[in-house]
Chain A
């Protein structure tokens, strides 16, 4: 066992775990003050519920039957059965980091991915409905899709790649957010009452925490302290930087001001887009992917207007569109000189094979997540209910659901 590799994945696990609180504050600053704690609670609760479900079933569904080219990992490792500090269930795949560490690292991805949905559904989910939604979603949608791409399932066997979660995390969560929106509808007063962010400093702080943690997300996905991790780390800094510039440029051209929320949103769009590419592309392409992601994700804000969807905090524009763009861009910019396991992309003379595989994978994950999540959300809505009543929405979820308020004056 290489202690350098182990040390880096240990650190990366902590970094990625810290992203979920970062996401909580990134989102929390954007909601109205009466729903601030409820947003934080949805994200922190994801850490509680999903860590436990990951140990019980999720990890096995995602990483059982490793490399089978299939759809479902099964239940062989349910409850971390046969996973010990000495077991070698994943050694051939992970380069020999301990099995519990590999599954702990992956657990932090399984926690933040369902939590991404909360940005779209802000201010109106019932707590019990939300809890069932993310729990079922983890096992029925996230873990199988993780198996397809991360666990050597059919997407990996087909020849599509996803370095750290363009497909598994961002398209998956983005399509799920779209499906849940179709079930629950808009916030009360959407389009009539102003719903401006209540405290953007929280959002900017959250952005910083996300960026910091994303180093572990992407560079940690090398599962080794090596040159690929180094390139992934560099890309995770420069692509969001370029994306921030792209977003602010369009913002300035379309309006009069460059905004703090624009800087934060652009950076996150860049983090999303570089995620599938991080350890597969070089420095120049990383700048291009980031810059374009900033522009494309800004322009994608119009989708929710056109589709009349109340995607409260723009999960579709940032995560779904950013994830699709990054996953497809990999088919253009993949560089076998950066990482020998991937063929060159179209722009590096590798032909269109990878690009086609990437598009097929994007379409498959999008379609599966959309349909499966819609069925789950609809079933919850028709039984225990997924959305609060109007009075609760008026009062605010903090007071009505949690008997607390974020800011106490007097």
Chain B
């Protein structure tokens, strides 16, 4: 099992969600997050005073999938989240040791 984490532009959320559903994921967790990469922050101006805002709003998707599905899902996210402009975000894949469905106690891939 792998966990795929993707940090994407907020206005791509619907596209990424639909692409993930189309790729067959059974569920996902979404959070609003802030951070910066190469895009860095931006400047805001209040009554002539400039404020540097380092952290840019992004949305983080987390899905847990079977090893065999990883490549297809990563491709779906890349395709749906990509604008070609700086700040499109990142995807990373990590191993998951164990997964438990709380309601039934099912373990491993049965709980996906």
List A residues at the B interface (Cβ < 8 Å).
Answer: 194, 196-197, 251, 254-255, 257, 259, 261-262, 265, 298, 301, 314
Contact = CB atoms under 8 A, between A and B. Distances in A.
A255 B45 CA distance: 9
B47 to A, nearest CB: 6
A312 B46 CA distance: 12
Query: By DSSP majority rule, is chain A's interface helix, strand, loop, or mixed?
Result: loop
A196 B48 contact: no
A262 B44 CA distance: 13
A194 B48 CA distance: 14
Q: Top 6 closest A-B pairs, CB basis?
A: A196-B51, A194-B51, A301-B48, A261-B46, A301-B47, A196-B46
B71 to A, nearest CB: 36
Interface of B: 44-48, 51-53
B47 A265 contact: yes
Contacts of A314: 47
B45 A259 contact: yes
Nearest to B44: A196
B57 to A, nearest CB: 15
Interface centre among B46, B47, B51 (most CB of A within 10 A): B47
11 contacts: A194-B52, A194-B53, A196-B44, A196-B51, A196-B53, A251-B48, A254-B48, A255-B45, A259-B46, A261-B46, A261-B47
A261 B44 CA distance: 12
B41 to A, nearest CB: 11
B51 A262 contact: no
A251 B48 CA distance: 7
Contacts of B52: 194
B48 A298 contact: yes
Contacts of B48: 251, 254-255, 298, 301
Contacts of B47: 261-262, 265, 301, 314
Contacts of A197: 46
A153 B44 CA distance: 48
Contacts of A265: 47
Nearest to B50: A255
B46 to A, nearest CB: 6
B30 to A, nearest CB: 15
Given A194-B51, A314-B47, 14 more contacts: A194-B52, A194-B53, A196-B44, A196-B46, A196-B51, A196-B53, A197-B46, A255-B45, A255-B48, A257-B45, A259-B45, A261-B46, A261-B47, A265-B47
A254 B48 CA distance: 8
